[in-house]
């Protein structure tokens, strides 16, 4: 399928070029006649033929149609390329989330782990994930998660659920899961404020 689209783009571009040449020749001919550079009868037969083709009424409409088709194919290629690079970044973000989730799980089982004080070395990773997530519209917990006692559990659930979905290419589901966890975090923060 990829090869077919490459061929279609180049064939459409070549067809557009072949159709536009007579139109460009006609414009150059008019400009040269206005300036008085040459006489039309002195032109070679091939150039004369191109000029006559350029004067035919159907050439403009055909050039416009083929040009729009060629431009559409090239824009489609560009958008697909941009979209695939975006998908690749989001999948990598998912893998990074899963890696951080594993590191947090390992750290939390060590003796002397105290939430959130023991998270100092992992906060930079979470900040990096947050910045990338914001760029692509994925909500990531911020510093408020450190204010609640069970923030570690919420963070691990978030990283596991959203990271798994992102790494699997389920971007819409990942955003929905992130927003559900955001709602839960907001609720817990409101409860902790109410207790104070």
Residues 163, 117: one domain? yes
User: Whole-angstrom Cα distance, residue 139 to residue 154?
Assistant: 14
- Tell me, yes or no, whether 164 and 176 share the same domain: yes
Which of the pair, 169 or 26, is modelled with greater confidence?
A: 169
Domain match, 78 and 156 both: no
Tokens representing residue 193 in the block: 């404020």
pTM here is 0.59
88-121 core/surface letters (b: 16 or more CB in 10 A; e: else): eebeebbebbbebbeebeeebeeeeeebbeebee
Q: Which domain covers residue 71, as residue numbers?
A: 2-84
* 95 & 70 share domain: no
The dihedral sign for the CA sequence 140, 143, 147, 150: positive
Give the number of domains in the chain.
Answer: 2
31-61: per-residue pLDDT in tens? 666 665 565 555 666 666 666 776 777 777 7
* Domain boundary residue, one of 63, 84, 105: 84
Among 33, 61, 84, where does a domain finish? 84
Q: What is the residue whose two structure tokens read 């917990």?
A: 141
Q: Are residues 46 and 97 in the same domain?
A: no
**What's the CA gap between 21 and 47, in Å, rounded?**
11
Predicted confidence (pLDDT) per residue in 144-183, tens digit = 888 888 888 889 999 999 999 999 989 999 999 999 999 9
Q: Which residue, 94, 87, 102, is CA-closest to 167? A: 94
- Asked whether residue 78 falls in the same domain as residue 145, the answer is no
């Amino acid at each position: 399928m990829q090869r077919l689209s490459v061929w279609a783009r180049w064939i459409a571009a070549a067809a557009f070029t072949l159709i536009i040449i007579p139109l460009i020749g006609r414009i150059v001919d008019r400009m040269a006649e206005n300036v008085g550079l040459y006489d039309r009868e002195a032109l070679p037969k091939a150039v004369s033929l191109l000029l006559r083709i350029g004067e035919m009424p159907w050439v403009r409409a055909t050039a416009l149609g083929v040009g729009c088709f060629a431009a559409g194919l090239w824009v489609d290629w560009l958008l697909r390329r941009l979209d695939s690079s975006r998908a690749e970044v989001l999948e990598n973000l998912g893998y990074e989330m899963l890696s951080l989730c594993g590191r947090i799980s390992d750290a939390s089982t060590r003796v002397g782990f105290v939430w959130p004080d023991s998270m100092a070395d992992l906060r930079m990773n979470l900040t990096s994930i947050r910045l990338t997530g914001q760029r692509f519209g994925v909500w990531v917990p911020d510093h408020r998660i450190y204010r609640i006692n069970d923030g570690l559990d919420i963070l691990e659930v978030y990283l596991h659920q959203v990271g798994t979905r992102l790494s699997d290419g389920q971007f819409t589901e990942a955003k929905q899961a992130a927003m559900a966890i955001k709602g839960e975090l907001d609720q817990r923060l409101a409860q902790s404020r109410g207790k104070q």
